A and B are shown apart, each in its own frame.
Chain A
Amino acid sequence: MTSQNLSTQLRALVVDDNILNRKIHERMLNGLGVECMVVANGKEAVDVHFYGQSFDLILMDKDMPIMNGIEATKELRSMGINSLIVGVSSRSMEAEIREFMEAGLNDYHVKPLTTHKLASIIHNINPNYATK
């Protein structure tokens, strides 16, 4: 296991209304040495930032109740949040993906995510980050 200096540990926010995806993505990120918080919708994602939390990576589901991924991404960008926001969804229609990207995503992946995909996303944040 590679030990991480706490000051350089990456932090991720998983935003997904599906409890399975929250559990799986959290486990994947933890397995890659990334500290993780999970929330169940876009409004909670906005709220945690409003109350001062910051993250290196946000995994944003598209279809969620209360506030969806498009709305949340737009809101976070308007708040000046520059974190890497990666959209994830099982929807694959081009128009839907484009709308999500135009909300302010850095990248988009079709669900389910794999550890390999997440590792490459993390590598984009910090090529020198040593995953477990």
Chain B
Amino acid sequence: MDKTRLQREAAFIRSSLLDQGYLDEQFIQLEELQDNDNPNFVEEVVTLFYTDSARLIYNIDQALLSNQSDFSKLDDYMHQFKGSCSSIGAKKVKNECTGFGEYCDAHNYDGCYRTFQQIKQEYITLKKKLETYFQLLRQAAQI
């Protein structure tokens, strides 16, 4: 596949992610921080997000599975996770986190559990799309 086609495919994925609300303006802010000295900054930040947030996902999973739900702890973990989502512009995931927070405030365990399954789904969907996007960019850069 030639360089132009790879770049076009990557650009299409990027536009789709923004148009469909998976990503927001914050992602564009990260792109603007890339330069010749920091050519892979966005991918580094996204990789760091998925590495670091795996810990928070695990903590929330464990907290939901425990016999006694500590809503204060759940809210704290989710606040941290939501903050990270916000930092990379992960709009859809962040919006689901807002829903989780509302169920936490209401001490609604079922609502928290259901919403968290949706959060994990959106989180994984975005991860796959971004992996494809960065892979195309890397392939284009190598040609």
Contacts and interface: CB of A to CB of B under 8 A. Distances in A.
B48 interface: yes
A18 B48 contact: no
Interface in A58-114: 63, 90, 111-112, 114
Interface stretch (A5-13, A19-27, A120-128): A19-27
Contact of B48 (A23, A111, A115): A23
Contacts of A130: none
Interface string B105-139: 00000000000000000000000000000000000
Contacts of B82: 90
Contacts of B38: 27
B1 to A, nearest CB: 31
A63 B78 CA distance: 13
A28 interface: yes
B96 to A, nearest CB: 15
Contacts of A21: 83, 87
Interface of B: 26, 29-30, 32-33, 35, 38, 41, 44-45, 48-49, 52, 79-80, 82-84, 86-88
